[in-house]
Amino acid sequence: MSADTCERRYWGFVPPIPAGGITALARLAEERGLYGLFAAQVWGPPWVPLAAAAGATERIQLASGIAIAAARSPFETAMAAIDLDRVSEGRFILGLGSSVVAITRGLFGSPQDKPMAHLRETVAAVRHIIRGAHRGLTPFEGRWYSADFAALQPGEPPLREEIPIWIAGLRGAAIRLAAEIADGVMGHPIWSVDWALERVEQDVKAGLEKGRKRREDVHLNLAFFVAINPDRLEAIEDARTTVAFYASAREYEPFFERHGFGEQVRRLHDRVERGESVNTAEFVPDEMVRTFALCGDADEVRQQVERAWSVADSLWLTPPGWGLSLEKLAFYDQMIARTFYE
């Protein structure tokens, strides 16, 4: 393990691939000295790859990054957290997020229409269940979730009654909520470094003040898409589809607008909603890619990442995976490792 790795906490990622691949990735991450591994929910839940990674490792932290709060009952989320904390012997972090309406309502059929209030209620319900399920639970009455727990048979106590909960967010309200009620703030990998430094710190401070908490009470994890390549133009091209994917979400329009790319994303939205083909190069110019993905050679990217450490407690550096071949993903993962871990 390098001196840099000892001092700084980096995260990796495990996808839902065959178990042998998860085992290999998890062991490699632990050998590299990474602090933790995320598994994300885009469609399916993140629990399965995390459980496989837990069985292959001994020290590394394991977190859902993220589990979509509206995709399931808080009771199921709490039970999954208890199980994963037990399977990993106390290494699990429950990362929650609200996602976008196209996914929560369009795919999961969730009726919730106030994502921040729903997320606040979910955290309260999950904590209530984790703390008391082994003793017998008093009823929980919320706007979106109510349960009397009459059929619950108290069982084995959880490994920890206080499993850390981190909340992910894109813009102000979610970041303020995370700092106020959660144990950690999870940054979005589409953030620019400038956004993380100039905007997020203000929102974290506001959330801490509302929750009457100190900065050291909340872990701030920042995430960035990274394409390290001696051929800068190739790196930009490889990251373009990932930026386009997030730019195509209507809820993200104000975020891109604040960066000066409102016109581009509105044109992209109009084309997508008409069902027409989209040439990402036309709607996502090079300047936009460079803003939302760290592209360039190792020295260029290292300088940008160094700036983030002025506020971050940990970093997740991930290849811009949308549209890339497995070979390209492996290449960029190796370049990140050589630059920061090895």
The answer as to CATH 3.30.420.40 being correct for domain 3-231+297-340 is: no
Between β-strands 146-147 and 184-186, what pairing exists: parallel, antiparallel or unpaired? unpaired
Place of tokens 């956004």: 195
Q: How many CB atoms lie within 10 A of CB 98?
A: 26
- Give the pLDDT band (50/70/90) at residue 100: confident
Query: What is the token pair recorded at 57?
Result: 């490792």
Segment 9-50, tens digit of pLDDT = 999 999 999 999 999 999 999 999 999 999 999 889 999 999
Segment 68-87, tens digit of pLDDT = 999 999 999 999 999 999 99
Task: Tell whether the model's pLDDT for residue 1 goes beyond 60.
Answer: no
Q: What is the pLDDT of residue 110?
A: 85
Task: Tell whether the model's pLDDT for residue 264 goes beyond 70.
Answer: yes
CA separation, residue 68 to residues 37, 73, 120, 237 (Å): 17, 11, 13, 30
Dihedral (Cα; 187, 165, 310, 262), 10-degree rounding = 20
Greater confidence (102 vs 123) lies with 123
304 CB-contact burial (10 Å; exposed 0-12 / middle 13-18 / buried 19+)? middle
C-alpha to C-alpha distance for 227 and 332, rounded to whole angstroms: 6
Task: Tell whether the model's pLDDT for residue 278 goes beyond 70.
Answer: no
C-alpha to C-alpha distance for 239 and 310, rounded to whole angstroms: 25
Q: What is the pLDDT of residue 240?
A: 94
Q: Who contacts 261 (Cβ-Cβ below 8 Å, separation ≥6)?
A: 247, 288, 291
Task: Tell whether the model's pLDDT for residue 163 goes beyond 60.
Answer: yes
Tell me the HSE value of 208 on the side-chain side, using a 13 A CA sphere. 17
C-alpha to C-alpha distance for 175 and 156, rounded to whole angstroms: 34
- Cβ contact 35:61 at 8 Å: yes
Task: Tell whether the model's pLDDT for residue 276 goes beyond 80.
Answer: no
C-alpha to C-alpha distance for 5 and 25, rounded to whole angstroms: 18
In degrees, rounded to 5, the angle at the alpha carbon of residue 279 between the alpha carbons of residues 275 and 285 is 130
- Give the pLDDT band (50/70/90) at residue 112: low
C-alpha to C-alpha distance for 307 and 302, rounded to whole angstroms: 9
| pTM higher than the cut 0.85 | yes
- Cβ contact 215:200 at 8 Å: no
Q: What is the pLDDT of residue 4?
A: 40
Between β-strands 10-13 and 36-39, what pairing exists: parallel, antiparallel or unpaired? parallel
Region 280-296: what's the mean pLDDT? 92
Backbone angles phi, psi at 184, to 5 degrees: -160, 155
Tell me the HSE value of 188 on the side-chain side, using a 13 A CA sphere. 23
Task: Tell whether the model's pLDDT for residue 6 goes beyond 60.
Answer: no
Q: What is the pLDDT of residue 5?
A: 42
Greater confidence (171 vs 309) lies with 309
Q: What is the pLDDT of residue 275?
A: 76
- Cβ contact 95:65 at 8 Å: yes
In 3D space, the residue among 94, 243, 213 whose CA is nearest the CA of residue 162 turns out to be 94
